[in-house]
Structure 1
Amino acid sequence: MSETSAEDRIWTIPNLLSFLRLLGVPVFLWLVLGPKADGWAIAVLALAGFTDWLDGVIARRFDQTSRLGRLIDPAADKLYVFATILALLVRDIIPWWLVVAILGRELFVACFIPVLRKHGYKALQVHFLGKAAMFSLMYAFPLLFLASHTGWYADMARIVGWAFALWGTGLYWWAGLLYVIQVRRLVTATSKE
């Protein structure tokens, strides 16, 4: 099998896991906003986090990386972040400024996509800092759901959840700035050719 055809694969285990994660987004939103079944919603988030890690491991270990996987894996991550902050905002668990900070970073980075495309690049490689930011946010959100309850765990969940949320948002912006620096370097290198 040539490398080009391997890149074009659709039916891989990592792609299946990413697709299942995408299907979990509306289920998660329904659980949080409909019956307010936070325990089940947190289980969906935890399963999404686990399958996100697992699809990466499988893709690297068994050489199942693909162009489609590089698109749907981060798309699933971003959809979970957006769905979760929307649900947390609607349920009045997080303040609007946190939503603005996270969505503002996405809009900021999206402004540079046309510049990349103009110079012949489709997307930037995912940076470790971006993965660390996503990891922090994906831990923060379930903890903030738990913090909205009145159980013995609520105070500890609030402290740790907000620590992850603030740290994750800071890392998210830092990663965004690094992406902008990458774009600038690529554009400069392309202009010199």
Structure 2
Amino acid sequence: MSKHTHNGEDEAFSPEPKNIIWTVPNAISFLRILSIPVIAVLISKRYLVWSLIVLAISSASDGVDGYIARKFDQVSRIGQILDPIADRLLIIFSMLALGWAQILPWWLLIAVGSRDVVMLGEVLLLSDRDYGPLPVHFVGKAGTALLLMSVPVLIVADLSGSTFFQVLHLIGVAGAIWGAVLYWCAGLIYIMQGHALLSKDKRRANA
């Protein structure tokens, strides 16, 4: 058990689900992660209809694995890690593919990707001090949701060059920009939370 999970204040940062790996929800999560490169390749090759189909199946599986985990008491530590990893990978790979297909500007991909690099550094730093994942902030959820929703919107918008689809493209880009802004706002919140935990450790060590 982590040394930082013995009081109520710290438990929120390191939940204690079951330490199991081989479950149906985890298998679904692994398959979802494996589908992400497939989606990215389909987008980059402009097989847009097929990419939408695989994306829809992958997105549906996200809700299914969570339902099964709660319904059959199969919530696991690795499962709680796999879900956010899958979301991050889907965002990065999809936007990389959209950039490669010249559907989305590259600067937006860089803005989103750099935030995840920063967050990875913080996660590793906290993990080195036996902290689990930080609690997900609603700003981060909103940013992730906007980014995830903008992906299918941008794919659909590229199916045609008519005025309607051009407007749809602008909506998708606007959603991605706002998602990136919220994504970074949440990142700053997580940085402050991590700094507070590390400062608390330092005070304990000096006490």
TM-score class, shorter-chain normalisation, is: 0.7 to 0.9
Residue type matched to 1:134 in 2?
Answer: T
> Secondary structure of the equivalent of 1:112?
helix
Residue in 2 that maps onto 1:25: 36
- Structure 1's unaligned 5+ residue stretches are none
TM-score by length of 1: 0.86
1:118 Cα deviation (Å)? 3.8
1:1-193 equivalences under 5 Å are 7-34=18-45, 36-150=46-160, 152=162, 153-193=164-204
Contact 1:143 1:158 (C-alpha < 8 Å) held by counterparts: yes
1:43 Cα deviation (Å)? 1.7
Aligned mates of 1:94, 1:33 — CA distance in 2: 11
1:91 Cα deviation (Å)? 0.6
Q: Residue deviations 1:131-164, cap 9 Å, x none?
A: 2222111110111122223255413421331232
Q: Residue deviations 1:26-64, cap 9 Å, x none?
A: 321332234x21011012222222222332233234322
Aligned mates of 2:126, 2:89 — CA distance in 1: 22
Aligned residues: 188
1:6 Cα deviation (Å)? 6.6
TM-score by length of 2: 0.80
Q: In the superposition, relative to structure 1, how do residues 91 and 6 fare at CA in structure 2: closer, same or farther (>3 Å)?
A: closer
1:106 Cα deviation (Å)? 1.0
Contact 1:116 1:122 (C-alpha < 8 Å) held by counterparts: yes
Q: Residue deviations 1:58-108, cap 9 Å, x none?
A: 323432210111222222212211210111111111111101110111122
Q: Which moved more, 1:18-27 or 1:84-93?
A: 18-27
Contact 2:104 2:173 (C-alpha < 8 Å) held by counterparts: no
Residue identity over aligned pairs, in percent, reads 38
Contact 1:49 1:138 (C-alpha < 8 Å) held by counterparts: no
Q: Residue deviations 1:105-146, cap 9 Å, x none?
A: 112222323431343214323333322222111110111122
Q: Which moved more, 1:54-63 or 1:76-85?
A: 54-63
- Structure 2's unaligned 5+ residue stretches are 1-15
